[in-house]
Structure 1
């Protein structure tokens, strides 16, 4: 799993903010670390190569520049598929900054066209320290709600936690908004039903992947509850599925995943079904 971490860069400090996570994953998993820059014109390649080599040397990585006019996302995925077991790591914003829709067009197209393969996406802040040391990820947080869509991320989250020696945290969220009027169960009953599910999942997945696993039931709007749960923690990766191919045609990947990517301050391992 993940024999190579492929970090896509555009020369901006925004795109470099994912480097600390990518380098940490590569070190923990024993994976190769490759930095990729895609340029439109061959004339731009020498400058891009020099930039990549400087950054690669600082992280013990390999730098590769590709000249590919047109669709950058297609070029990224084509390069990724040359090495089986490659995880693409990309920021949701790059050279154009943070004033675009929540997920930039390149990152959006990479996730959408990845063929169901997970992509690690990070929303840069514009304030993070570029060139920071590799960051050790200690927890993979997996929100589950009992649906097939959420459980589709179980293999990726479990295998990642096992490979990097991290804890698996199973999170359920009780959202009162899904009930109305007389249909509203007592909050303790709601939490009790959810806790049984997440507790059993934590026990099962701990045994399956041979990793420590914990669980927690949160209360409130899911994106807010999940981001609040991990607030202040940098050593975390979220593992979440998107709503589906239709949702991917917009700038959002589904309200919960989008909300977490926007506000959690940590990378999200996501995949399109």
Structure 2
């Protein structure tokens, strides 16, 4: 009986012990190798100055993919049929994917935003129906801060699916203003005053030169377009302050900015007695 028990024990060790030991060894070595490979890829990306968000995302994807391979290899050492196991994983992944289409869409959109970089943190953008300063670009969503200091989280799929306007992408911007004056005013004097206002402001660029011209003979006014170029950071301050300065100077120079008005002519018909 003792000899039979020993033989059975030896058989059990040979049948299950050694495969289990090999499976553990494969898992430990594979896990170490996965970390080493992942770190090598991360260092290469950081050396190439790839966006940090993309680096973190790639690190997670590579490590998870390698660990799945390691686990399947370890299960193979235990004699488990890994082909059927892989098929189960694939089927489960498909089911999860179908149930999380919106989330996966945001995930893919986040990858595209990180890869193509239509904007970066700190840019003022209009995207996904929202305008604000980009504070954080995440895999599933993007956080923005509005002008009145509200934080808005926008799904990346909503951003990628619409037009993206990046107001901070270029170093300079054009300020577009329309200034109306009376038909009775001297247009040459108006132009001279506008030119003097723009030339006196150091924030307004000389190249490209500002544009000043009559754009429309409207119902109640002669409309001038005033289009100076400024650095993007000066856009709003120039827009507000130049319009204020125009009003002050026009008042001092006797140039009027007319109210919208309509002339009504009444014709009285005389009826013969």
TM-score norm. by structure 1 comes to 0.26
Q: Between Structure 1 and Structure 2, which shows a larger proportion of helix residues?
A: 2
Larger Rg over CA atoms: 2
